[in-house]
Chain A
């Protein structure tokens, strides 16, 4: 049973991946990636990583991909077919395409050989034993306990990194000056004097100071 599920999920994963690479419309590529992520979550479940699978769906497919969708909608579609590009090569030309494919193919072959063929006899094909219970392998409690004891530093650093990324994202994407509109001289409150000229707030973005 698990084998059947594995194959279905694996096919979903690979199809999604191929779709991301091939589809010319970026919106469709995003959707393909979402499918890929969901299939990957199933694979995680098969590997008894319940919490990680949940995280994958909620955060990765849920938040990150939504962010992608927003940006794709904002930036617009710059779709170009693979066939177009093959026929009218741009500045880099088709060699890079071909070379890239060859390189990645070589990489794949190597990895497969490494993983499957050579001395990975240590890989116990079946996996370790598994004791069910409240803090069993893969449960949230299990992960939580690890995060707060053994991997506390990684946990804290990761949260710090998130903070930095958030600040960075705001700084990168803000407007320098507000949207130019007619001068609306409202009541001149002290706040107007104290506030700096442009802070990139949503209010400014919309038009009100």
Chain B
């Protein structure tokens, strides 16, 4: 398969993740969709690494995975903190940045 197919899949996954981030109200699911976008990027990186034949893309993909893990840790920690304080788990209700 030519690399183009993989890149197309990557684009589709990225867009689906974008739709999910904008559309969903549960912050957990929003984070999940964020993961989707990251994965789409990862796929593109690996595909390009295969194309050029060196390992840079793969290294970067590993680093992206690491960053994704950290970000999930912090994000979920925030959600747990929200839950502990009995705040609604709904991104539309958390609006103190308004104005």
State if A and B touch, Cβ cutoff 8 Å. yes
Query: What residues make up the interface of A, taking CB atoms closer than 8 Å to B?
Result: 2-3, 6, 10, 13-14, 17-18, 20-21, 26, 29-30, 33, 36-37, 40, 43-44, 46-49, 51-52, 55-56, 59-60, 63-64, 67-68, 71-72, 74-76, 78-80, 85, 90-92, 96-97, 99-101, 103-105, 107-108, 111-112, 115-116, 120, 123-130, 137-138, 142-143, 146-147, 150-151, 154, 158, 161-162, 164-166, 168-173, 175
Cα distance A165–B2 in the bound complex, in angstroms: 38
Q: Is the CB of A123 within 8 A of B81?
A: no
Closest to A172 in B: B77
Q: Is the CB of B53 within 8 A of A20?
A: no
Choose from B55, B63, B78 the contact partner of A158 (Cβ within 8 Å): B63
Judged by a CB distance under 8 angstroms, whether B73 is at the interface is yes
* A67 surroundings in chain B (CB, below 8 A): 72-73, 76
* B65 surroundings in chain A (CB, below 8 A): 55-56, 59-60
Q: Is the CB of B58 within 8 A of A10?
A: no
Task: Please list the 8 inter-chain residue pairs (A to B) with the smallest Cβ-Cβ separation, ordered nearest first.
Answer: A128-B53, A125-B2, A100-B22, A165-B70, A172-B77, A108-B15, A21-B20, A111-B11
Q: A167 to nearest B CB, angstroms?
A: 10
Number of interface residues of B (CB under 8 A): 70
Cα distance A40–B36 in the bound complex, in angstroms: 11
Q: Is the CB of A30 within 8 A of B32?
A: yes
In the complex, the number of residue pairs spanning A and B with C-beta atoms less than 8 Å apart equals 238
A71-B28, A115-B4 known; A101+B73 contact, CB < 8 A: no
Query: What residues make up the interface of B, taking CB atoms closer than 8 Å to A?
Result: 1-9, 11-20, 22-26, 28-29, 31-33, 35-36, 39, 42-43, 46-47, 49-53, 55-56, 58-59, 61-63, 65-74, 76-81, 83-84, 89-90, 92, 95
User: With contacts A75-B79, A104-B18, A143-B59 known, what are 5 further pairs, Cβ within 8 A?
Assistant: A20-B20, A33-B36, A49-B49, A72-B28, A165-B71
Cα distance A125–B9 in the bound complex, in angstroms: 15
